[in-house]
Amino acid sequence: MDHSEASWNLFGKYPLVNSHKTCHKSTVAQDTVAAILSNDRPLIRGVAVRVLITDLDLGDPGYEVARLERELGAQVRVARCASEAEVLREIEEFDPHALLVQWAPITAAVLAAASSCRLISRVGIGIDMIDTAAAREREIEVRNVPDYCVEEVAGHAVALGLALWRRLPQFDAEVRAGAWDAATGAPTMKRLSTATVGLFGFGRIGTLVGRAYAAMGARVLVCDPYATDIGYQRASFDNLLRESDLISVHAPLTDDTRHAIDGAALARTRRQPILVNTSRGPIIDAHALNGALRDGTVSGAGLDVFDSEPLPADSPLRTAPNTILTPHASWCSREAMPALRAGAVQNIIDAFAAAERS
């Protein structure tokens, strides 16, 4: 492909300022691109913005393509990349100015190859599949859709936690097997108002989860080194592990949180906690969790996210006791789906339309 018309750089020589206001958060400054793009440098008109959709598992990408073409006059290429090599091949052939990314790995090598790329729009909240440090170095803006499914994920996390707290999987299995014996379970079941719920991560989703448990009388502990004004008792990671009857994970996946809950962490728990993870699988060491479920260190696990998705057929978690597994479904609702798709496209349109206006 001839890239001669692509010699312009959308952001030109103007530096990207503060592309991540808070590097620990997945939320990214929403006004940054527009601010940079409105600098007074020529934007080449008549050259279509090239948008590469690296991957999208939300159905037909016709909506994204149509809006980008209609509202931005963009040239859109739809790919189904799963690996770095596949993304690199698409970038080599298409030389995009913007990437619309769901799960494809946007590594330092990908960003080095994407010399015309000025914007990455993540179709989702977490941006852990993007090397944000490399993006920052190359002055490539990263945007996400921070608010499309907060109540869905919070509701899902609380549902998993309460289902395990109330022994719903066991009761359900017993009734189906012909038993009718509530009293047998009673001695192992505690009133929620006697429980301590530990939140690992207290952003948009964690805040809502905390509110739900507090409303039902639980004591809430918060472990989040960056959160301010939490309104609950702050806990170190160690205290969270030691004091919680239920640990709900709501931190993003970062270098700091990857395998934060490993075998050593699980061994420091004292109350055979229930573990709920709707955030990202690799925050918990799955091998260690499997062992802890089987030896009773952990009394149950509600998992929506996994190291490898889909969950491999031979994953031992499939047969671990007191476990509820869902297929990365926390975000789902009929309202969230269109909000997600619209938000991710809008991030690209806003950025490039602002450039056009300048």
Beta carbon of residue 243, minimum distance to ligand NAD (angstroms, whole number): 16
Mark the segment that binds ligand NAD (CB under 6 A) among 11-19, 30-38, 148-156, 311-319. 148-156
Q: Residue 323: beta bridge partners?
A: 301
DSSP letter string, 282-314: GGB-HHHHHHHHHHTSS-EEEES--SSSSPPTT
Helix (H, G, I), strand (E, B) or coil at 187: helix
- Among the listed residues 92, 309, 335, 356, the single catalytic one is 309
Residues between 202 and 231 that touch ligand NAD (CB under 6 A)? 202-206, 223-227
Scan for tokens 């379970």, then name that residue: 185
Compute the Cα dihedral for 153, 158, 163, 167 and give only its sign: positive
* 328 given a catalytic annotation: yes
Mark the segment that binds ligand NAD (CB under 6 A) among 73-81, 149-157, 295-303, 311-319. 149-157
Q: Are 139 and 16 in contact (CB under 8 A)?
A: yes
# residues near ligand NAD by CB under 6 A: 36
Q: Does 274 bind ligand NAD (CB under 6 A)?
A: no
Q: Does 25 bind ligand NAD (CB under 6 A)?
A: yes
* 280 given a catalytic annotation: yes
Q: Are 224 and 210 in contact (CB under 8 A)?
A: no
Residue of 320, 311, 309, 263 lying closest to 288 (CA atoms):
263
Helix (H, G, I), strand (E, B) or coil at 74: coil
- Among the listed residues 20, 97, 328, 341, the single catalytic one is 328
Distance (Å, whole) CA 31 – CA 351: 9
Q: Read off the amino acid at residue 210.
A: G
Beta carbon of residue 144, minimum distance to ligand NAD (angstroms, whole number): 9
CB nearer ligand NAD, residue 252 or residue 343: 252
As a whole number of Å, the CA-based R_g of the chain is 23
Distance (Å, whole) CA 266 – CA 350: 45
Q: Does 50 bind ligand NAD (CB under 6 A)?
A: no
User: How are the residues of the chain apportioned to helix, strand and coil, as percentages rounded to the nearest 5?
Assistant: 40, 15, 45
Beta carbon of residue 237, minimum distance to ligand NAD (angstroms, whole number): 7
CB nearer ligand NAD, residue 75 or residue 239: 239
Q: Are 328 and 309 in contact (CB under 8 A)?
A: yes
Beta carbon of residue 123, minimum distance to ligand NAD (angstroms, whole number): 11
**Of the candidate residues 149, 158, 265, 276, the single one contacting ligand NAD (CB under 6 A):** 149
CB nearer ligand NAD, residue 99 or residue 221: 221
Distance (Å, whole) CA 350 – CA 352: 6
Beta carbon of residue 36, minimum distance to ligand NAD (angstroms, whole number): 23
Distance (Å, whole) CA 103 – CA 122: 9
Mark 108-137 with x for binding to ligand NAD (rule: CB under 6 A) and - for no binding. -----------------xx-----------
CB nearer ligand NAD, residue 72 or residue 275: 275
* 90 given a catalytic annotation: no
CB nearer ligand NAD, residue 27 or residue 315: 27
Mark the segment that binds ligand NAD (CB under 6 A) among 32-40, 88-96, 252-260, 291-299. 252-260
**Of the candidate residues 252, 273, 281, 282, the single one contacting ligand NAD (CB under 6 A):** 252
- Please name the residues in contact with 305: beta carbons below 8 A apart, sequence gap of 6 or more: 277, 278, 279, 280, 281, 328, 330
Mark 153-192 with x for binding to ligand NAD (rule: CB under 6 A) and - for no binding. x---------------------------------------
Residue of 228, 232, 201 lying closest to 215 (CA atoms):
232
What are the residue numbers of the active site? 280, 309, 328
Binding residues for ligand NAD, rule: CB under 6 A, are 24-27, 125-126, 149-150, 153, 200-206, 223-227, 250-254, 256-257, 278-280, 304-305, 328, 330-331
